[in-house]
Each structure stands twice: as structure tokens, then as C-alpha cells.
């Protein structure tokens, strides 16, 4: 049984002792600030949500999506927080409802920080390249089974945990040194990749941290009292379910809104899809005489209803969640789940697999493949000659474009991870420019 006095720990990763509490700024608000001012968060402005380089200025990037998910998460977390305090008592819950809302908001704000250029398409292309490209397979020679699994199934959630705990911030260790509570709530999949092809993991494809960050995750899990469920695997933090619901509520609805703006769906399509999610005030709706404003109404009302329903589902499942039992996504349990399923099916066939998206995916595949081939070949040559050798000019010039190249280790496990940090951290437009430069 997990306990809230651990789950809401303000202990910061890799920091000795607790920082003093400020009367005007809680530890969890500081987490939000650190994430907001990070370089990786800023780069989300040029990483696609659904529509990439072909999208309009209106549609959402990963940055705007993350901000919206954080605001929804704050509301959902604060509402759930009041229920948690009421159920377990203030003595057992060392936080206010608003503190709990800020934990969920911080984790939701960070949930896409590990998204590579071109988002989920980028994850797939990186994974496919290491599975099938001759150079990608050659690079895996000498790596252990787990790192090979990580390359063949590149996971943005694990990259995000690495960003938060190692790559961002000025501190020598612990990255942004976020609180254990925020890092726990971030962990949608708090387990590592399989160490061999036949190892069974809690999820057949998804995982939440790389082997290089196992120690950090173990420290977080110990501090929070997360229940172990296997090798380098723990149950979810209860608030991670709220982060997931905030994300799901946002993208399910706003992807429809963006698709109308992109003329991939008609307004009538959107109205038909979103209407079943809403508690209607027909008189109020009929008084709106503009389709754009009606679309805003539909989006706002739909998200509001999903937040309400997710909160009720969380309350219903809280006893099981506190025992570490996996209960599945909250929005899969609500009365309106069939309407969400319909939205998901239409989104897949007409938005995610639509003509405009496929054109973006073609650009993404070409771009990332060029980058992996060029930098992978150069890094292999660098490894072969060692720190005292002299690289051919074509490799030396290319590697000079990699920030901090002289600090990147020469051992394969080290430089492969650093190379993926560089490519995954690129924005969409920067990746295209680099690929064009390399291709000539």
C-alpha cells in the first residue's frame, strides 16, 4: 500500500536534504518554473503535435499542447486532491489540493520533453533504422541486449526522463533536480526496456527510462514508496493516471479542432464527433452564429466533461491504484468511452493517416535517415581511431556541428546515447536544415 506522505515527497533528485519552503512559491511550482525555462521545453514550439511543416500557424505544436495539458492537469489534480485529502485526512496528506494540482501540472508540462523531431513518426523512423539499416545493425555490435532493445524501439517517454534528470539544467547531477513527486507523476511507464528478446515487461512496447538512468529511477521510486513489480520496474504513481487523462482529453478533442482548421474535417464532422461528449445547453449554443466560435464552444465543453468524468473514474479506482494495481487509462472507464473510440478511429483514418500527414512523414523519414546515416558513420570512424587519431576531413567537419563533441565518450554505448540525444533534441526545421546541408 502506497502512502501519500511519501508520494508527495518534495525531495529533489540528487540533492542533499530538503530545500526550505518559500511562503509564496511551493516546491512544485518551482518544478513548473524549471521545466518552463528549460531549453528542451522551448524547442517544443517547433516540434509537431500532429501537423508539422505543412500545418497552418493556428494548429498546435508540442509546446501549445503541453501547456494546454498542464492547465487541464492542474484542474484535474486540484479536484482529485480535494478528494484525496477528504478520504485520507490532512494528517496523512502533507499538501493542499492546489499542491497536488501543481504536481500534475508540472508532470503534464514535461510529458513531451523527450519527443524527437517529427514526434511519433520520428520515434518509428529511429526504431526502424536500427532494426533494418545495415549501419544501424552494425552500430549495435558490442552493445548489451537492453540498449539494443532501446534503439530498436526508441521511446520518447524514456528520452524525456533522461532530459529531466540528466540533460537539462546547470547542476552537476540530477538535471533539473525536480521533486520526487513530479518525477513520479511523470512516469507513465515506470519500468525499463527488456534486457533480452524473450523478457516479458509490464507493457509489450512502452517503457519509461533507459538503462543509463536506472539509478535515478530507483532513487525516485524508493523515495516515493512505489511498489516494485519486477526487474527495474515499479507500479505507477497514482497521479500519473491524472497526467495521462489530461493528455488524452486534450489531444482527443483538440486534434479534431485542428483538423477542421486544416480542412481535413468539416465543421459538421467535428460537431457530430464532439456532440456526444457534451452536456448541451442548446439555447446557449444556438445563439452562437459563427462556426469558429461554435468550434471553440464544442472544444471547451468537451474537455470540461472529460475532466469531470476522469475525476470520477479516479475516485472510483483510487483504492486499487494505491495498492499498485494497474487499472488502465481513466478515460477508458467513462460513460462516454464509445464516443472517444469513434473520435480515435476517425482521427487515425482521416487525420493521422491523411494525405497531408503522409506527406510530412515522407519528409521526416528522409530527414532522419540522412542524419542517422551520416552521423552514425562519422561516430563509428571516431571510435575506431580513438582520441589521439585524426579523422578524415569529411567526418571531422560533420562532427564539429555536434554540440560538446569533445565531451562525448568514445565507447560505443556512450556515444550512441549522446548521438540520439542530439538527433532527438532537434526541432523539425533544424533537422531538415541539417539533412539538407549533409545531402548537398
pTM of the model: 0.96
CA distances from 336 to 248, 310, 330, 341, 391 (A): 13, 11, 11, 9, 60
- What nine digits make up the cell of 94? 502533507
- Structural domains in the chain plus CATH codes: 4-17+24-117+144-238 (1.10.3210.10), 240-354 (1.10.3410.10), 356-439 (no CATH)
Q: In degrees rounded to 5, what are phi and psi of residue 233?
A: -145, 140
pLDDT number for residue 304: 95
- What nine digits make up the cell of 188? 507513465
- 440 residues of the chain, pLDDT tens digit each: 999 999 999 999 999 988 888 888 999 999 999 999 999 999 999 987 666 555 555 678 899 999 999 999 999 999 999 999 999 999 999 999 999 999 999 999 999 999 999 999 999 999 999 999 999 999 999 899 999 999 999 999 999 999 999 999 999 899 999 999 999 999 999 999 999 989 999 999 999 999 999 999 999 999 999 999 999 999 999 999 999 999 999 999 998 998 898 888 999 999 999 999 998 778 898 899 899 999 999 999 999 999 999 999 999 999 999 999 999 999 999 999 999 999 999 988 888 776 777 888 899 999 999 999 999 999 999 999 999 999 999 999 999 999 999 999 999 999 999 999 999 999 999 999 999 999 98
- What nine digits make up the cell of 55? 500545418
pLDDT number for residue 51: 60
Dihedral angle computed from the Cα positions of residues 306, 309, 312 and 314, in that order, rounded to the nearest 10 degrees: -50
Q: How far apart are CA 205 and CA 188, in angstroms?
A: 13
Q: How many CB atoms sit inside 10 A of residue 92's CB? A: 12
Amino acid at each position: 500500500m502506497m502512502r501519500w506522505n511519501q508520494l508527495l515527497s518534495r525531495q529533489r533528485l540528487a540533492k542533499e536534504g530538503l530545500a526550505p519552503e518559500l511562503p509564496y512559491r511551493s516546491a512544485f511550482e518551482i518544478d513548473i518554473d524549471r521545466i518552463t525555462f528549460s531549453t528542451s521545453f522551448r524547442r517544443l514550439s517547433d516540434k509537431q503535435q500532429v501537423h508539422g511543416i505543412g500545418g497552418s500557424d493556428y494548429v498546435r505544436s508540442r509546446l501549445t499542447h503541453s501547456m494546454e495539458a498542464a492547465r487541464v492537469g492542474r484542474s484535474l489534480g486540484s479536484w482529485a486532491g480535494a478528494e484525496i485529502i477528504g478520504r485520507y485526512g490532512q494528517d496523512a496528506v502533507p499538501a493542499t489540493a492546489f499542491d497536488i494540482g501543481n504536481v500534475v501540472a508540472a508532470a503534464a508540462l514535461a510529458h513531451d520533453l523527450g519527443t524527437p523531431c517529427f514526434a511519433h513518426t520520428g520515434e518509428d523512423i529511429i526504431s526502424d533504422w536500427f532494426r533494418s539499416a545495415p549501419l544501424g545493425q552494425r552500430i549495435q555490435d558490442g552493445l548489451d541486449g537492453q540498449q539494443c532493445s532501446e534503439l530498436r524501439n526508441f521511446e520518447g517517454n524514456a528520452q524525456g526522463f533522461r532530459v529531466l534528470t540528466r540533460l537539462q539544467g546547470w547542476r552537476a547531477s540530477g538535471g533539473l533536480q525536480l521533486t520526487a513527486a513530479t518525477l513520479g507523476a511523470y512516469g507513465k511507464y515506470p519500468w525499463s526496456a527488456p534486457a533480452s528478446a524473450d523478457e516479458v515487461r509490464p507493457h509489450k512496447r512502452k517503457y519509461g527510462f533507459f538503462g543509463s538512468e536506472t539509478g535515478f529511477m530507483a532513487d525516485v521510486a524508493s523515495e516515493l514508496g512505489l511498489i516494485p513489480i519486477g526487474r527495474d520496474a515499479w507500479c505507477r504513481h497514482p497521479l500519473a493516471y491524472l497526467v495521462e487523462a489530461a493528455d488524452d482529453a486534450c489531444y482527443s478533442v483538440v486534434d479534431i479542432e485542428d483538423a477542421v482548421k486544416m480542412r481535413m474535417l468539416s465543421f459538421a464532422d467535428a460537431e457530430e464527433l464532439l456532440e456526444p461528449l457534451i452536456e448541451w445547453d442548446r439555447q446557449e449554443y444556438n445563439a452562437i452564429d459563427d462556426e469558429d466560435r461554435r468550434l471553440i464552444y464544442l472544444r471547451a465543453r468537451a474537455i470540461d466533461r472529460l475532466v469531470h468524468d476522469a475525476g470520477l473514474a479516479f475516485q472510483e479506482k483510487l483504492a486499487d491504484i494505491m495498492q499498485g494495481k494497474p487499472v488502465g487509462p481513466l478515460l477508458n472507464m467513462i460513460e462516454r468511452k464509445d464516443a472517444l473510440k469513434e473520435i480515435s478511429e476517425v482521427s487515425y483514418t482521416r487525420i493521422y493517416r491523411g494525405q497531408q500527414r503522409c506527406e510530412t512523414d515522407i519528409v521526416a523519414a528522409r530527414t532522419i535517415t540522412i542524419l542517422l546515416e551520416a552521423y552514425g558513420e562519422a561516430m563509428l570512424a571516431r571510435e575506431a581511431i580513438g582520441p589521439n587519431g585524426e579523422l578524415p576531413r569529411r567526418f571531422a567537419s560533420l562532427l564539429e556541428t555536434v554540440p560538446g563533441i569533445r565531451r562525448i565518450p568514445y565507447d560505443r554505448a556512450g556515444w550512441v546515447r549522446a548521438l540520439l540525444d542530439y538527433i532527438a533534441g532537434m526541432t523539425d526545421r533544424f533537422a531538415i536544415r541539417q539533412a539538407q546541408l549533409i545531402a548537398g
